[in-house]
Chains A and B, each alone.
Chain A
Amino acid sequence: MAFADESLAFERRSGFRAALAGIAVSPIIVKLAMLWLIAVLFIAVTARWIMPYDYQATDLLSRLLPPGSTGFSGNFHLLGTDHLGRDLLSRLFSSIQLTMLVAVFGTFFGAIVGSCIGFVAARFRGWVDDIIMVLVDFQASMPFVIIALSVIAVMGTGNMLLFVLLVGFQGWERYARISRGMTLSAVNHGYAAAVRLLGAGTLRVYLRHILPNILAALVVQVSINFPETVILETSMSFLGVGIQPPNTSLGNMLSYGRDYLLNAWWIAGVPGCAIFFTTLSMSIVGDWLRDVLDPTTTSNT
């Protein structure tokens, strides 16, 4: 019995190696999606250095210029300018940086907190487990955006840290459910009991032995959650209750553009396409990752 579990654990862990090797043989669409995501990450990291102009610099004589035109002061605007004459390419880079920053920090914050809550539920069982599961059910029965909005109504807009944590918290209940469920079944397998008998402490059992075995499921969940976090952040910024000026997010860039659809489609089109290609790429890569990492799903879905 214990041997069978050991080999199961081994197969799961080698899934990551298979994933790395699998990139080479992945379909072309997955490669394209990965390329886009790598480009987005590159822009997010290097935005301050590669943006051609200051993203806040206004040039009122060069307002609403279409992509590929030269402004009044001789600046070349590859993606055009907005209603204040600001260079859209620079704003796009800056927005990608902030959107990615919020999404990456938020997603990992939510994943870590959610998984830990699940571990706590599985470790203590009893009333602790009951309370956590009631909270999980409660969360699952409310659209997260409503909860986020009610917190922002009280705390006010403009608090960046609060906003990142709030956006990241989205989806915590799914991590909690997964880590709780899989931990409970792992504990029933022989290997957790075996290392405990060998004298391993709780923390060691959970981090060194159980976590690696359920990591694949958590990574799959991250791949589902990440695009949702991007969409949540951009929609809240679009609604004017997320990232506040002078900072720019892809969402509030798009909301400025809404007023200029008639004569300057590029102001909304540029950030809109950036969000769309990013979430689409994440879905494509996520689907592929799920097929590679998760042996329980068939290619039906």
Chain B
Amino acid sequence: MTGFVIRKLLRTLFTLFLVVTFVFFVLRLTGDPVSAMMPDDTDPAILDELRKQWGLDRPLGVQYVEYWINLFQGDFGNAYRDGRPALEIVSERLPATLKLTLTAFAFIVVVGFPLGILAAVNRGTAIDRGIMTISVTGFSLPNFFLGILLIFLLSVTFRLLPAFGSDHWYNLIMPVITLGTAGAAVIARFVRSSMLEVLNAPYIRACRARGMTEREIIWTVALPNAAIPTITIMGFMVGALIGGSIVTETVFAWPGIGRLLIDAVTSRELAVVQTVVMMTAASMVFANLAVDLLYLVIDPRRRFASGAGE
């Protein structure tokens, strides 16, 4: 079991190493950052001077090693426009994004799980079909359109909520629905099929034979077992939420990292872009690690299987 944990940790570190390497080479090999940032008609002498100043005239290997040294010192480069450290620019946007994504995550769990359970328990009935129809619709609705639809309905037509702003709790309602709907739809679908699989398992029949009530079986036996595989999906959700927050933050003018990334891409603030990419990768990699370790804690079969494998 310790071997399993160590292997997972090594794998996590290796993925992080790959991410940094990927970012380095994308930024260095697909184009010249200096001419990408400067206007097209800049004097070549100035470009050369800038290249020298940023160390871009040295061999790639040297740059690569230096890149690592800088990262370990917390230096992600400076923004081109105002010279502030990129890490600082990204960090001050972090709370807004965390507020949005964590609330959306809670929304996904609170909405997705009950719908999935309800559909599975009422399999084949109108309730089941209704929930699955909602799920397919929610999954197919692109989040940027959903966001605009919500603004149109709740802000423009019924004047219930302000379209922009991020200071009050009610400002979160529309962005969270926009960000969380697709995830909730996926979870509902997944929980449903996972529940159905468990409900068909022999041990459920054994429970029935022992005289447990249907309600007891669903809540104390079926649900805990059906919830285990959904943890994997939860890990994927982290990536989907980060990707989705880019669009959601743009629609609602939410002052988070997603909108920062889009601004940085259009104005070619490469230092900011690389910082966001690395932070995203790091949070996804650690989310996957957390999922793997969580499995060990809650699923004894895993624990023994991986222990026996060592």
Contact = CB atoms under 8 A, between A and B. Distances in A.
Contacts of A255: 144
A144 B156 CA distance: 33
Contacts of A206: none
B148 A258 contact: yes
B31 A154 contact: yes
A300 B156 contact: no
B144 A235 contact: yes
Nearest to A262: B156
Nearest to B163: A261
A239 B262 contact: yes
Contacts of A235: 142-144, 247
Given A154-B30, A154-B33, A155-B31, A279 B247 contact: no
A151 B151 contact: no
Interface of A is mostly: helix
Interface range, A side: 35 or more
A264 B15 CA distance: 48
Interface of B is mostly: helix
Given A156-B268, A239-B246, A254-B148, A151 B30 contact: yes
B140 A227 contact: yes
Residue of B18, B148, B276 with most partner-chain A CB within 10 A: B148
Given A141-B285, A142-B284, A239 B247 contact: yes
Contacts of B33: 154
Contacts of A268: 148, 152
B26 interface: yes
B103 interface: no
Given A146-B280, A241-B266, A261-B156, A283 B139 contact: yes
A206 to B, nearest CB: 29
B250 interface: yes
A49 interface: no
A149 B137 CA distance: 27
Contacts of B239: 141-143
Contacts of A155: 30-31
B23 interface: yes
Nearest to A231: B142
B265 A276 contact: no
A145 B246 contact: yes
7 contacts: A137-B15, A138-B18, A142-B280, A146-B281, A150-B23, A153-B264, A279-B141
Interface of A: 134, 137-138, 141-147, 149-157, 227, 231, 234-235, 238-241, 251, 254-255, 257-258, 261-262, 265, 268-269, 272, 275-276, 279-280, 282-284, 287, 300-301
